Amino acid sequence: MARRLARYHSIALLLIGWEVLARSGLVNPRLFPSLPSIGDELVQLFTTGIIWPHLAATLFRVIGGFAGATVAGVAIGFLMARFAIIGRTVEPFFSASYPVPRIAIYPIFILAFGLGHLSKVALVFLECLYPIAITTFYGTRAIDPVYVWAAENMGASRRQVLLRVVAPALAPYVFNGLRVALPIALAIAVITEMIGATEGIGYLVAYAAASLARAQVFAGVLVIAIVGFILDAGISGLRDRLVFWERPAASIGWN
Amino acid sequence: MGHVAISLYRSMAGLILGAGAGVLLGLMSGVSRRVAGFFDPIISLSNPVPKVAILPVLIVWFGISDTSKIVLIAITTFFPAYLSALAGVRQVQTPWVWAARSMGARPAQVFRKVVFPAALPQILGGLRVALALAFILMFASEAVGTAHRAGLGFLVIVAEAGGRWDLMLSAITVIGILGFTADRLLLVASRSVLRGRETSRG
C-alpha cells in the first residue's frame, strides 16, 4: 500500500505545489484559486444541477459520433482490405486527407447542420473515422489466410468464417483504433462546443471564462478531465474483457 | 499574408517548445528509472484527458494573447513527443547496449551511438502526430478568441459571421494546404534521416 502510494508522489507534489502557490499571496487568488475553492465550485456545479444538461449534451455528441464512426470505420477498413478495387479507390483519399486539420471545416458544418447536435456529431464522426478505418484496414490485411482456408476446409460456412475466424482476429486491431478514437471524440466535442454552441461542457467553461467566473472554469475543466478519464478506462476495460488473449499495444493518438 | 504568418508563428513556436521538451524528457525517462517514476503517474493520469479543455484556464491566465495559444499547443504536443521518445528508448534491445558497453563505450557514447539512433524512428512518428496537433490546436484556439485580430482560424470565424463564404472557404483551404504540406515535409525529412533503414510507411 505504502509503495503504491509512493508511486504517485509526483502527483501529490504537484497538488501541494499548487496549493502553496495559491495561498502564498504571490499570485492573484482569482487567477489561481486554491484547491478547496475549486472543490466547492465542483460540488456546486452538481448540487445546483447546472452541469447536467451540458454533460448530457457533450456525452450525446461524443457517443453518437463515436458509435457511428465505429460502424462506418470498421466497414470501410474491412472492405478496403478485402476488395482491391475499393482499396485503390478509397486509399488515396484517406492518405491525402489524413494530415489535413479537419477541424477547420467545422464552420462549414455549422452552416450546413446548425449550431445544435448535428454539426458536432458530424465532426466527431469524421475525426474518429480515420483511426478506426486505418487500424481495421491493417488488421484485416494481417489475417493469415491459412486460418480462413483451414476453417473452410473443415466445412465452415461464410458466416461462420466471418464470426469465428475473421472477427476474433480483427478485434484487437479494432480496439486499438477505438482506444485512439475515443479521447479524440471528447476533445473534438469540447473544441466544437467552445467555438460555437449553446450547450455542452466546452460551452460551459468557455462561457465561464468569458464571464470571469474563474473558479467555475477550473471546476468545469476538472469535469472534462474526469469524463475523459472514465471514458478511457471504460474502453480499456471493455477491451480487456473482450480481447483478453492479446496484450494491448502502446497507442499514441492525440486529444 | 499576415494571417498565415501569425498562425504559423503560433503553431510552430508551440510545437518546438512542447515537442522539444517532450522528446527531451521522454528520452530522460527512457534511460532513468527515477525520471520515469516521477513523470509516469502524471502522464498516464492526464493523457486520456482532452488537453484543449485547459484553453479557458489559459485564457484566464494569459488572456486571448499569442501566449495562451502557444502554451496550449506546447502542452498538447508534449504528450505524443514524450510518449514516442519513451517507447522508442524502451524498445532498444539490451544486447545492443551490452555489446557497446563491452566494446568500451562510455554511457554518453552508448546513448549517442546506440540508444538515440534506435529510438529515432519512433520519435519521428511521434513528431508527426504532434505536428498535426499543432495545426488543429492553432485553429481551435484562434477560433475561440484571438487578440490583434489576426490568424487563419480568426479569419475563418469572422468570414463566416460576416457571410463572406468565399473568404471562409479560401481560408479553410489555406489551413488544409498548410497542414498537408507540413506533414509531407516532415515525411521527406524523416526518410532522409532514416535513409537505408527498414521503416514502415505511415
* Phi, then psi, of A199 in degrees rounded to 5: -155, 170
Smallest Cβ–Cβ distance between B41 and the set A8, A232, A255 belongs to A8
Q: In this structure, are residues A100 and B179 in contact, taking their beta carbons and an 8 Å threshold?
A: yes
pLDDT, tens digit, 9 for 90 and up, residues A36-82:
888 888 998 888 888 899 999 999 999 999 999 999 999 999 999 98
A27: left (phi over 0), alpha (psi -120 to 50) or beta: beta
pTM for this one?
0.87
Q: In this structure, are residues A135 and A81 in contact, taking their beta carbons and an 8 Å threshold?
A: no
Q: What is the dihedral of CA A214, A218, A219, A223, to 10 degrees?
A: 140
Residues near A43 by Cβ (< 8 Å), separated by ≥ 6? none
Smallest Cβ–Cβ distance between B133 and the set A10, A11, A254 belongs to A254
**Sequential DSSP letters for B62-75:** HTTSHHHHHHHHHH
What is the pLDDT at residue A250?
Answer: 62
**Mean pLDDT, residues A210-223 taken together:** 86
Is the pLDDT reported for residue B57 higher than 60? yes
ipTM of predicted complex = 0.83
| Residue of chain B whose Cα is closest to the Cα of A202 | B53
Q: In this structure, are residues B128 and B202 in contact, taking their beta carbons and an 8 Å threshold?
A: yes
Cell representation of residue A112: 450546413
Smallest Cβ–Cβ distance between B56 and the set A206, A231, A253 belongs to A206
User: What is the rounded CA–CA span in Å between residue B124 and residue B60?
Assistant: 34
User: What is the rounded CA–CA span in Å between residue A66 and residue A70?
Assistant: 6
pLDDT, tens digit, 9 for 90 and up, residues A5-40:
777 788 888 888 888 888 887 777 777 888 888 888
User: What is the rounded CA–CA span in Å between residue A235 and residue A247?
Assistant: 14
User: What is the rounded CA–CA span in Å between residue B20 and residue B48?
Assistant: 21
* Rounded (to 5) percent helix, strand, coil in chain A: 80, 0, 20
What is the pLDDT at residue A73?
Answer: 95
pLDDT, tens digit, 9 for 90 and up, residues A105-148:
888 898 888 888 899 999 999 999 999 999 999 999 988 889 88
Contact A250 B87 (CB under 8 A): yes
Name residue, grid cell 549517442: B112
pLDDT, tens digit, 9 for 90 and up, residues A164-179:
889 889 998 999 899 8
Contact B133 A108 (CB under 8 A): no
Q: In this structure, are residues B196 and B120 in contact, taking their beta carbons and an 8 Å threshold?
A: no
Q: How far is CA A212 from CA A186, A202, A219, B57, B147, in A?
A: 25, 15, 13, 11, 17
